[in-house]
Amino acid sequence: MAAENQDSGNTPSAAGAGGVGSLLRETRRQLGHDLDTVATTLRIRQPYLLAIEDGRFQDLPGATYAVGFVRGYAEFLGLDSKEILRRFKQENGEYAARAELVFPSAVSEGSIPTGALLGIAVIAAAAAYGAWYWYQSRDASVAEAVPALPDRLAALIHRPVGNSAEVVPVLPAEGSKPAETAATGPAEPQAAVIEAAHAPTGTGHDEVVPPTEDEAQANNAAGQQAVAGAATPSPAPAAAPSAPEAGAPAVAPPPLGAVAPAAPATEDVRSSVGKVGKAGKLKEAKDAKSAAPKADTVPAPGGEASPPPANATATAPAAGAAEPDTNEIQTAAAATPARGSPRIVLNAAENCWVEIRDANGHVVSTRMLHKGDSYAVPNRPGLSLTAGNAGALSVMVDGKVAPSLGAMGVVRRNIPLDSERLTTPVKEDPAPVKDESPAAGGSSAVAPAPTE
């Protein structure tokens, strides 16, 4: 309807423009006004007046202005402006509707709205907490009573003891076998490597230094073994002779740097043999132990010195063999067995509640021992027992029945689970320790066999 009559003056029937536009035009013509005069009088630009007459209201600057222009035009022509406006608005209902106001706003800097970000963060935190909580609660069901693996045992697990036992049969191991056989002497040569490893210890005590204390000898033997193990790489036979001698001369030959720490240790032992103190022994034992891993962990220099891998493997068992010794020494010194079967076993003659705590007061185990049940106390120092019915328990220490803890139905608390205290309820003095140690040595010497 807009394009119908572009030329201003001479379109008499502008029907397409609807009522208002054509009415205004007709009136203007009747009054004889020119569009120009109207424009100059009303100060409304001619194109706008034309647009009004043609009904092209969308060409006007805005609804408010259009209404104002129409009103002004109608009043100029002497028409009823209110009626004209009413009709005008009727015709242009949607056009006269108020315009949308959109304020210019700065471009947001972040791509993610902060509110959403916050929400996501909260949800993520909640999910993380939930997962953690679930994980924790699931783990909590696992018994906490299982004691942590002591360092000594953990070390054993990681030691190549088992390895050596397996590896040795596979590999030729010419180097170790002579050593073994030489060391064991009377022992049968077909014995397993572990046995061989322990055999030297035993023989060490028995043959070489009977007068000195066992621990020192064990130490010695350990040192020798370490030396022997480390030495094997270069001259395998050289180690072999050293073993039978099992004394000072064995230590002399060490040719490698790796053996060096071990050698002084053993020398120390020998020097202090005459006046052996317990602490000294322990220290020696530790030295020997530290030497052993060295010999074990530094096979590379040894390997360099004498390349053949057979030799290197030979070292391993030797070193491995050395370790149990050191362990034994240590255990002997601490008067507790290193590993294997429990030394203390509780047998219940009647139903009895027992609780075992460690040195720190943490509960190791708490349970009801029913008639006939037996409970093997873990081999750990510092454990104490609380028994609900002392008379119902019979304590076995190293297979021997220990004195009864008390009468039937008596509650006893904090009974130290210490093998010697259990066996001798009297206060102990340093002497029993010495007596104990061979037994300990013996037991531990026996112990490894079933373990492996």
Partner 1 sequence: MFSRVTGWMSADMAIDLGTANTLVYVKGRGIVLNEPSVVAIAEEKGKKKVLAVGDEAKMMLGRTPGYIQAIRPLRDGVIADFEVAEEMIKHFIRKVHNRRSFASPLVIVCVPSGSTAVERRAIQESAESAGARRVFLIEEPMAAAIGAGLPVTEPTGSMVVDIGGGTTEVAVLSLGGIVYSRSVRVGGDKMDEAIIAYIRRNHNLLVGEGSAERIKKEIGSACPPEDGEGRTMEIKGRDLMNGVPKELIISERQIAESLAEPVGAIIEAVKVALEHTAPELAADIVDKGIVLTGGGALLSNLDFVLRHATGLPVSIADDPLSCVALGTGRALEEMPKLKNVLTSMY
Minimum distance of partner 1 from residue 10's CB (angstroms): 26
Sort 279 into a burial class: Cβ within 10 Å, 0-12 / 13-18 / 19+: exposed
Q: In the complex with partner 1, which residue's Cβ is closer, 103 or 141?
A: 103
Q: Work out the number of other CB atoms within 10 angstroms of the CB of residue 273.
A: 18
- Contacting residue, 57, 69, 88, 375, with partner 1 by CB under 8 A: 69
Residues numbered 200 to 239 that lie near partner 1 (CB under 8 A) are none
What amino acid occupies position 204?
G
Q: Is 74 in the site for partner 1 (CB under 8 A)?
A: no
Which pair of tokens denotes residue 311?
A: 């030799």
**Residue appearing with tokens 């909590």:** 140
Q: In the complex with partner 1, which residue's Cβ is closer, 67 or 192?
A: 67
- Contacting residue, 62, 264, 277, 425, with partner 1 by CB under 8 A: 62
Of 63-71, 141-149, 223-231, 301-309, the window that binds partner 1 (rule: CB under 8 A) is: 63-71
Residues numbered 98 to 157 that lie near partner 1 (CB under 8 A) are 98-99, 101-104
Minimum distance of partner 1 from residue 42's CB (angstroms): 6
CA dist list (Å): 90 to 73, 75, 148 = 18, 19, 92
Minimum distance of partner 1 from residue 49's CB (angstroms): 10
Torsion sign (Cα): 206, 209, 215, 219: negative
Residues numbered 266 to 285 that lie near partner 1 (CB under 8 A) are none
CA dist list (Å): 317 to 152, 175, 285, 295, 298 = 19, 10, 19, 11, 14
Adjacent-strand bridge partners of 400: 397
Minimum distance of partner 1 from residue 59's CB (angstroms): 12
Residues 38, 155: Cα–Cα separation, whole Å:
110
Q: In the complex with partner 1, which residue's Cβ is closer, 3 or 101?
A: 101
- Is the separation of the CB atoms in 412 and 428 below 8 Å? no
Q: State whether residue 355 is helix, strand or coil.
A: strand
- Contacting residue, 4, 26, 27, 71, with partner 1 by CB under 8 A: 71
Minimum distance of partner 1 from residue 55's CB (angstroms): 19
Q: In the complex with partner 1, which residue's Cβ is closer, 61 or 307?
A: 61
Percentage helix, strand, coil for the chain under 3-state DSSP, each rounded to 5 = 60, 10, 35
Residues 251, 327: Cα–Cα separation, whole Å:
20
Which DSSP helix (H) or strand (E) runs through 90? Answer: helix 81-91
- Is the separation of the CB atoms in 317 and 224 below 8 Å? no
- Contacting residue, 72, 235, 253, 261, with partner 1 by CB under 8 A: 72
Which pair of tokens denotes residue 399?
A: 């297979």
Alpha helices (H) in 141-206, listed in sequence order: 151-158, 161-170, 176-184, 193-203
Q: In the complex with partner 1, which residue's Cβ is closer, 87 or 434?
A: 87
Residues numbered 40 to 59 that lie near partner 1 (CB under 8 A) are 42-45
- Contacting residue, 64, 366, 374, 424, with partner 1 by CB under 8 A: 64
Minimum distance of partner 1 from residue 356's CB (angstroms): 57
Of 67-75, 246-254, 354-362, 434-442, the window that binds partner 1 (rule: CB under 8 A) is: 67-75
- Contacting residue, 29, 36, 37, 61, with partner 1 by CB under 8 A: 61
- Is the separation of the CB atoms in 356 and 381 below 8 Å? no
Tell me the CA end-to-end span of the chain in Å, nearest whole number. 107
Half-sphere exposure of 348 (CA within 13 A, CB side): 19
Torsion sign (Cα): 348, 349, 352, 356: negative
Rg (CA), the chain: 52
- Contacting residue, 2, 35, 67, 165, with partner 1 by CB under 8 A: 67
**Residue appearing with tokens 């020798």:** 224
Q: In the complex with partner 1, which residue's Cβ is closer, 98 or 158?
A: 98
Could you tell me how many residues of this chain bind partner 1 (CB under 8 A)?
21
Of 38-46, 151-159, 201-209, 228-236, the window that binds partner 1 (rule: CB under 8 A) is: 38-46
Minimum distance of partner 1 from residue 64's CB (angstroms): 4
Q: In the complex with partner 1, which residue's Cβ is closer, 63 or 282?
A: 63
User: Residues in the site for partner 1, rule: CB under 8 A?
Assistant: 42-45, 61-65, 67-69, 71-72, 85, 98-99, 101-104
